[in-house]
Amino acid sequence: MKKQGDIIKELTKKQLTFHLFFTQIVLLTIALFLGILLFEDWSTFGSQFRLTSSIWTVGLSFGLIVVMLDLVLMKYLPPEFYDDGGVNERIFSERNIGEIALLAFVIAVSEEILFRGIIQFHLGLILSSIIFAVIHFRYWAHWFLIMNIVVLSFWIGMIYEVTGNLLVTIMMHFIIDFLLGIYMRFKSSKARKEGMSHEQRPIS
């Protein structure tokens, strides 16, 4: 059986884009279905969306902290600690900044509505964080990636517990995916340029 990374490498950019957006539509559909079942009225669900300063002071700030921590760890830890089979690189390397922003936004909205706005609201922090980590199965390849996604899941979940505001966790999730996506894009672009430079260099 092929690994997810091998399957994704065989997809064209168009096919991969379709797969990514289809997955988010599925998550939103599940969220809608569960929301209808679990919420007595939509006003209760809607109360989780509030335009407050915490979107910036908490969501943006903690998103940036996570990104900075990840970049530091990527610099000093062995490369295999962040090896997800090339999935993230394949997803982000061929996209422009606008495409990365759109993808990060859609992922942040769909996942936060389902895992924080529906599941955590009704089942609590622990179960929602475990389920969140479980569906990100591409990170199961290495113990560090598993630990990373579990810690991140609990961190975002705790932010939601404290603020009760989905816009805060959506902002945090978006910032993490968007900035790390840009990092992946430029890292991949730099590697390709260096590869071309080495190929063109005469053999001594």
Q: Is residue 72 part of a domain?
A: no
**Residue 117 within a domain:** yes
**What residues make up the domain containing 172?**
109-186
Could you tell me the CA-to-CA distances from 146 to 11, 47, 112 in Å, in that order? 25, 32, 19
What pLDDT does 199 receive?
44
* Burial grade of 62 (CB within 10 A; 0-12, 13-18, 19 or more): buried
Q: How far is 157 from 112, CA to CA, in rounded Å? A: 9
Tokens in use for 124?
A: 């609590």
Structural domain contains residue 174:
yes
User: What pLDDT is attached to residue 2?
Assistant: 54
The pLDDT value recorded for residue 49 is 97
Q: Is residue 54 part of a domain?
A: no
Residue type, 118: I
| pTM recorded for the entire structure | 0.89
179 within some domain: yes
Q: Establish if 144 belongs to a structural domain.
A: yes
Q: Is residue 153 part of a domain?
A: yes
Task: Assess if residue 147 is contained within a domain.
Answer: yes
**Cβ proximity of 188 and 93 under 8 Å:** yes
What string of pLDDT tens digits covers the 204 residues of the chain? 456 556 666 778 888 889 999 999 999 999 999 999 999 889 999 999 999 999 999 999 999 999 999 999 999 999 889 888 777 888 888 899 999 999 999 999 999 999 999 999 999 999 999 999 888 877 887 889 989 999 999 999 999 999 999 999 999 999 999 999 999 999 887 776 666 544 444 442
**Number of structural domains in the chain:** 1
